[in-house]
Structure 1
């Protein structure tokens, strides 16, 4: 249970039992739980969106976005902002890239990336809600159950995105010490493929378009491999954010 607790503590703000000791090497074991923890993130978003959908799609999107930010503590969008700043200031210098990446201050590129991502998620969530709303006849017959079922694919979006980090960290060289490098100390391919199979089965049942989700993960892997030559923890967080937006877009496919 220690690795599960660590995964929840690292990826979310959800309350967990406190561990008396900590070893950075334990993070490698925690990675096996990233997809299940992603389902917890998805559950928080789904509940918030469901509640807001009873009144208005835009309210649902806003509540869903706030829930997403709250449950993750803004961890991944911070990585996206840091990566944008580093790429904007690097001017093809690897040393400058890593220097800016470690800088805790937020620059203009980071602000633009963060604002764009928040707006993208807000609009995409609103469109997902409108897309999922049942017809008036179905809503009269099954009520809240029909709406909840229509929004259920939201549960899978954070799970897919977090599963990808296991593959990214295991197959890309680390550019700097940190959490991303620690995840690669030990890779649990058996649990990775089991999680992928279960998510694929759930996607086929709830939203077949999400069967294309691995293409989003492959796209970000290729970008990191050819553009940066490796990964850091911020690169993994940025990938989670961008893949989540791409998967929300997939949910709009009929």
Structure 2
């Protein structure tokens, strides 16, 4: 089995040092999708290791360092989608065309800045609580389940635009392998976190259903930006749940 789909997934979703895969075909782009939860697992491992390495510091400082490493590992890819979606959902005024138009604008308005700040504060608070409780290993599941949302949205939801990377991914998606990757991520979460894992998986699925419903109602599908927003919102929700349960 060629490692190229893994390299493609790693370089697309993260700033981790994956080999340069060169030019890719649409088929290879589709084949990379089932690897997304694994990339999330690596991000969670890096964040957890950072938190463990910083346990000797004050929880606030350790949480700050962990959040910096976590955000760096993603290249803020999904935060960009969260920002664009926030502006579009408020400025779109219920119009599909206007919402899609605003999402293409690279500028960030007050809604984007406000939501980004709130999400970062929420993540920092959750990290601080996990580190103070000595439970940083729960971070392994959070980015992984966040990237499961990308698989679910590609499997179940039409792409809202005519062209784009996600459109190619949808057309070339290996559906069986993608469902198996989802089940593997859920199984790993249950094995590692027990009943806490059950709660995290349930929260992931409920948030997915709610977000998908809103996307279908507003833009009749999803975009890369709304998918990224879903990842960030999922991570934030799951991190706060973990912090509440420790």
Check whether TM > 0.5: yes
Q: Does 1:152 align with 2:152?
A: no
Aligned to 2:154: 169
- Could you tell me how far 1:107 is from its partner in structure 2? 1.6
Structure 2 distance, partners of 1:207, 1:25, is 33
- Work out whether residues 179 and 232 of structure 1, in 8 Å CA contact, stay in contact via their aligned partners in 2: no
Q: Tell me the residue number matched to 1:54.
A: 56
Q: Is the 8 A contact 1:161 1:217 kept in 2?
A: no
How many residue pairs match? The answer is 237
How much is the aligned-residue C-alpha RMSD, in angstroms?
Answer: 1.9
My pick for the range that moved more, 200-209 or 5-14, is 200-209
Confirm or deny: 8 A CA contact 2:186 2:201 kept in the other structure: no
Report the Cα distance in structure 2 between the residues aligned to 1:121 and 1:179, rounded to whole angstroms: 28
Identify the range of structure 1 (82-91 vs 175-184) with the bigger mean alpha-carbon deviation: 175-184
Quick check: 2:100–2:219 contact (8 Å CA) kept in 1?
no
* Alpha-carbon separation, structure 1, partners of 2:153 and 2:25: 22
Structure 1 unaligned spans of 5+? 134-149
Which protein has the larger Cα radius of gyration, Structure 1 or Structure 2?
1
Q: Identify the residue that residue 245 of structure 1 maps to in structure 2.
A: 236
Q: State the TM-score, normalized to the length of structure 1.
A: 0.86
Q: Note the C-alpha offset of 1:222.
A: 3.0
- List runs of 5+ in structure 2 lacking aligned partners: none
Shift of 1:45: 1.0
Instruction: Flag the 1:243–1:202 CA change in 2: closer, same or farther, 3 A.
Output: same
What is the CA deviation profile of residues 16-53 of structure 1, one whole-angstrom value per residue up to 9, with x for unaligned ones?
Answer: 22223222442211110011111111011112222222
How far is 1:208 from its partner?
A: 5.2
Alignment partner, residue 186 of structure 2: 196
Q: Return the alpha-carbon distance in structure 2 between the equivalents of residues 114 and 66 of structure 1.
A: 14
Report deviation, 1:218.
3.0
Quick check: 116-125 or 181-190, which moved more? 181-190
Aligned to 2:212: 221
